[in-house]
Amino acid sequence: MHRALRSHLVPGGTWLDLGGGSQTYREIIRPLVTTRLITTDLQPPVDVRLDLESPLPFRGGSFDRVLLLNVLELVYDYQGLLREIRRVLKPDGLAYLWTPFLVPVHNEPRDHFRYTGETLRRICEEAYLEVRGIEAYGGLPIVHATYLAQFFGSGSLLSAVIHALGLRLNTLFLRSRPGRENRWPLGYFLVTRPLRP
């Protein structure tokens, strides 16, 4: 996800980070925010506590950029949330979405869905969000390493070694078999913008 963010984020004025309480990507986005960043989540520390199953408490057309990273799969009313993202974006705004695919169940009991790339395209278009770009990130070695690392615990040294080895093997795998990240995606990154209904 961090690689996708570094490659695709465009500087802008006011940003809204939906469900971004932990913000492991803070150092990537802070330099790109030119006016203000509002973070939201169910639990503090955030600027606004909110449940994404409800309408967003912001005026229409308030934000230049919206982030929805590792959150869409946790929202049962995903169509309502996508329509709300479209509503709060400025007409020339951009929304960035990252959603996992071949990853273990997480944030139980809120983990509801896994979306393929084509499904993501369709649900965004149904919410009047034009998909300007969609990329799969993954590959067979990193998928296996992710599951194995989870087995040993995400904070352990062994888990970190397994993940690092998986990344190296994945690079070799994708060089020898280009495009295979689409067959074994850990997740998808999308860049969208509002369409007129």
Q: Tens of pLDDT along 122-149?
A: 999 999 999 999 999 999 999 999 999 8
Question: Is 151 domain-assigned?
Answer: no
Q: Is residue 151's pLDDT more than 90?
A: no
Number of domains in the chain: 1
Question: Is 57 domain-assigned?
Answer: yes
Question: Is 64 domain-assigned?
Answer: yes
pLDDT of amino acid 133:
95
Instruction: List Cα–Cα distances, 3 to 20, 114, 167, 192, in angstroms.
Output: 17, 21, 12, 18
Q: Is residue 17's pLDDT more than 90?
A: yes
> Quick one: average pLDDT of 97-108?
91
The domain in which residue 27 lies consists of 2-138+183-194
Question: Is 74 domain-assigned?
Answer: yes
CATH of the domain at 86: 3.40.50.150
Question: Is 177 domain-assigned?
Answer: no
Query: How high does pLDDT run on average in the chain?
Result: 93
Please give the helix or strand (H or E) that residue 194 lies within, else none. Answer: strand 185-194
- Coil, strand or helix: which one is 143? helix
Question: Is 148 domain-assigned?
Answer: no
Instruction: List Cα–Cα distances, 138 to 76, 83, 86, in angstroms.
Output: 25, 28, 28
The reply to whether the predicted model has a pTM over 0.95 is no
First to last CA, the chain: 30
Q: Is residue 185's pLDDT more than 80?
A: yes
How confident is the model over 42-77, as pLDDT tens digits? 988 899 999 999 999 999 999 999 999 999 999 999
Question: Is 163 domain-assigned?
Answer: no
